[in-house]
Structure 1
């Protein structure tokens, strides 16, 4: 019996986060970290608890919330030593939040901060504010999205997993020019 089940393909490539239940589910840092951990292959509650440094009961509770919100599902169930082992998987390879809400964004950034604190390697984190017109901002956003989409997983599964966080936003309180799309 293999230690790692073969990763089944998720039913969707991209899932848009849009329901109140999904936003509520994303509003907890551990749930964000569970989604990060399930990004490449299904995992059991025990494996997730060990990986995230928490209890199986805590992981089970948060997986239930994610499952009820339609963000994870049971990918495989196996009989093991007289019991049943369930492997959980994200419902999509990528999840897009079209209209971010403050609680979900705060939880995601808290989860990223926790991941950075636990990283055994040097990390790179930069925040820079630049003045860009609407066309340049759109161009930069498209270039960043393309860069992230083009990154391929290393075929050697023994390699470490790296997190990539990309954000492009217009700072609140800045003046909005007349030629900014959707603004008057």
Structure 2
């Protein structure tokens, strides 16, 4: 038995195939927990069972099952395959889209995503690259840089991956404009 991917990923979507726009309130709510973010990271490359995910993320199976249910109800993961095994059934979960674009980022989901990235950085066996840079840019230059970063992400999505067994690396791209300073009320 298989779940169906959400409608926004089907024909008529403004995004290319394999890209899901996160816009519904339940999707944002589902992203507001670091373990759910890490589950999405783990499911990016291949389907996995609750037991496999629990072992990979060093989490309890009950917690993994609960958070997968929340992600499934939000349409961010689905059951890709079900296998009958001696005395039971294994369900293999998969992300509904390889890439998820957040339409209008919300504080809780962004905080959870960054917390999950922080956990991944902390657990990384190799020295990660992490850089924060601030630039003064005109709106035109900011748009140009944003388009260049979007092209880089597109190249990452199309990159030929190494065979199974090679380390998995994460890529996080952001180009936020800082809020203007508030003038003091003297």
Match of 2:23 among 18, 24, 28: 18
Match of 2:142 among 137, 144, 150: 137
Instruction: For residues 60-100 of structure 1, give each alpha carbon's deviation from its aligned partner in whole angstroms, at most 9, with x where no partner exists.
Output: 00000000011100000001122100000011111000100
**Number of corresponding residues:** 167
Root mean square deviation of aligned Cα: 1.6
Would you say 1:52 and 2:57 are equivalent positions?
yes
Instruction: For residues 104-160 of structure 1, give each alpha carbon's deviation from its aligned partner in whole angstroms, at most 9, with x where no partner exists.
Output: 000000000000000001101011110011111111111111112112142322211
- CA positional deviation for 1:46: 0.5
Matches within 5 A, 1:147-166: 147-151=152-156, 152-166=159-173
Measured in 2, the distance between the counterparts of 1:147 and 1:109 equals 20
TM-score normalised by L of structure 1: 0.87
Unpaired segments ≥5 residues, structure 2 = 11-16
Match of 1:38 in 2: 43
Measured in 1, the distance between the counterparts of 2:50 and 2:131 equals 34
Give the stretch that moved more between structures: 91-100 or 155-164: 155-164
Match of 1:3 in 2: none
Measured in 2, the distance between the counterparts of 1:90 and 1:112 equals 18
Match of 2:14 in 1: none
DSSP-derived class of the 1:170 partner? coil
Superposed structure 1 runs of 4+ greater than 3 Å apart: 9-12
TM-score normalised by L of structure 2: 0.86
Give the stretch that moved more between structures: 67-76 or 142-151: 142-151
Measured in 2, the distance between the counterparts of 1:27 and 1:110 equals 10
